[in-house]
Structure 1
Amino acid sequence: MDCKTASDLLPLYFDGELDRATSRDFEAHLDACAACRNALVELDTVRQALRNDAARHRAPEALRSRIENAATAPVVTRLPRPRSTWMALAASWVLAFVAGGITLAAWNHGSGSGGEETQLTRDLFASHWRSLAAASPIDVVSTDQHTVKPWFAGKIAVSPTVRDYTEQGYALIGGRIDYVGTERVPVLVYRHGKHLIDVFVLPAAPSTSGIPVRRQGYVLEGASVGGQAAAIVSDMDEAELTRFRDLLNASGRGD
């Protein structure tokens, strides 16, 4: 993949809209191209600045009243004058802005965290869903923990602790490397019945522990893997997820 193609794909990758195969090709290019890595970091910096530093203004009461009155006014069948068309469009923009603010506030409240952790939550769900849509959610296919752990060596800074819980009903089936924000992180992949489980081993920092976050039938919950911060994403029910989380938390350091 060349830089021109990578540049075209960058916004799609950033929003989690690429399929797994294309994402892998893009990530392989990132590994070898500092310019494209910097472009990805700069894009994330802009997003963080817009989220955290952009000015927010409350609509004047007179404008709010006009919009509310327009929304409840009876529909008149006639061709609108240009000014009316412009006002209707402006009203729709304001309403969309207000609705977006409400949605963002609800998201922050629901995840129980600030902007950084909210974005982490979104990235984790997006990575899991992207892997499910790919031809294979796994880069290294193996049920042997002593094969999966060495595979990560040299690809990331620290290889995660890997355990197989087949006897407990949670079989290790492999692993992959994925992006969470701009960080490359190891992902351990397990299967429980028909449920696929992603365990993202995080660099540390923001905690995802606390009340599980639910999105579209999937659950994200914080855990610990060999002393490293981790996050589980799956569609298991609460009892199954809790049991698996406890198994991970009990895992020791190293092999």
Structure 2
Amino acid sequence: MRKNMELPSDPADLQLLLHALVDGELDAATTLALERRLVDDPALAAEHARIAALQTAVRNLPRPGVSDAFQARIAALGVAPQAAARPASAHSAWLGWRAMAASILVTAVLTSGLTQWAMTRNAPDSFAAAVASSHRRSLLAASPVDVASSDRHTVKPWLDARIGLSPAAPDLAKDGFSLLGGRVEVITDKPVPALVYKHREHLITLVAAPQDGRTASIPAGAERAAGGFSLIRWADGAFTYWAISDTDRATLEDFVNRFREAAAAG
């Protein structure tokens, strides 16, 4: 494996690589080189998050029904299934029609205004996927934070100066969760503050998104898995929080409970 693999400079080629990365089609060397590039290139990282979110949204689209009229229109194009050649494959032919219809629908979604509808409809899943991608990139970076400090009076002003908002940033070292600092993340094309805590050998990223219709639609306390990580979501009226880590679920729940208590206490 080459230590410093060169990536293409052409934007179109980089776009193809991002799609291949989301689809899991790159070799280990290219994947590592591209993920290192994402750490240093916020615009490229934002595009990667957008592609991952779109993939999640399209995957969650409802399966379409296929009407007789629609089948007739496809048949008129000269691509009718060969059911007559194999009488026993009627069920397979029907599945073929469904696959073709689904393919056409996905193409229409990707090339029309329905793309925005799909991403909005599945915004919670898209946001979770983007949070998971940002956490994964931070694990590969030389440093998971942009401002390194356990002092909230350093972290909060730093975030405020850059994006105009910051969540509570208590140091929970006495509870086993040390505040390492903070960074600015770009999630679904918007800059949001992120705090980073450490518990033993595990990092916990806490993304705080200002509440709006896209994030507040998830029931409070929702839990899920995202990108192979454990993730817990909750809200406090000002922010919607997403805590994500590769630590065990019980530890992440303990962190969330202690953070909420400390934040409420001021």
TM tier, smaller: 0.5 to 0.7
Map 1:1-255; keep pairs closer than 5 Å.
9=14, 18-27=34-43, 47=54, 51=58, 57-59=64-66, 91=96, 94=99, 97=102, 115-205=122-212, 206-207=215-216, 208=218, 209-215=220-226, 217-224=228-235, 227-252=238-263
CA deviation after TM superposition for structure 1 residue 179, in Å: 1.1
TM-score for both structures, normalised by structure 2:
0.60
Which whole-Å CA distance do the structure 2 matches of 1:137 and 1:123 have between them?
16
Partner amino acid, structure 2, of 1:193: R
**Aligned-residue offset at 1:6:** 6.0
Amino acid of the structure 1 residue aligned with 2:99:
V
Partners of 2:259 and 2:237 in 1: how far apart?
8
- The alpha carbon displacement at 1:58 in A equals 2.7
1:81-125 CA-partner distances (Å, limit 9, x unpaired) = xxxxxx9xx959928958xx9xxxxxxxxxxx9511111111111
CA distance in 2, matches of 1:247, 1:93: 50
Q: Give me the whole-angstrom Cα distance separating, in 2, the residues matched to 1:153 and 1:168.
A: 26
Counterpart AA for 1:221: I
Q: Are 1:226 and 1:253, in contact at CA under 8 Å, matched by a contact in 2?
A: no
Residues 1:230 and 1:6: Cα distance change in structure 2 (over 3 Å):
farther
The answer to which of 141-150 and 161-170 deviates more is 141-150
User: Structure 1 length as normaliser, TM-score?
Assistant: 0.62
**Is the partner of 2:129 in helix, strand or coil?**
helix
Q: Which runs of 5+ in 1 are unaligned?
A: 31-36, 74-86, 102-112
3-state SS of paired residue (1:250): helix
Quote the RMSD (CA, aligned, Å). 4.6
Worse-superposed segment, 163-172 or 174-183? 174-183
Deviates more, 1:62-71 or 1:138-147: 62-71
Q: 1:114 to 1:245 in 2, by over 3 A?
A: farther
Distance 1:186 1:214, change over 3 A: same
Contact 1:166/1:172 (8 A) holds in 2: yes
Measure, in 2, the Cα distance between the counterparts of 1:182 and 1:69: 51
Which residue type is aligned with residue 244 of structure 1?
F
Given that 2:221 and 2:234 are in contact with CA atoms closer than 8 Å, whether structure 1 keeps it comes out as no
How many angstroms apart in 2 are the aligned matches of 1:7 and 1:225?
Answer: 41
Name the structure 1 match of 2:112: none
Q: Quote the residue 2:113 is aligned against.
A: none
Quote the offset at 1:220 in angstroms: 0.9
- 1:174-215 Cα shifts (integer Å, max 9, x gaps): 111111111111110001111110000112121353441124
CA distance in 2, matches of 1:159, 1:187: 9
Report the secondary structure of 1:150's partner residue.
helix
Q: 1-side partners of 2:87 and 2:239: how far apart?
A: 51
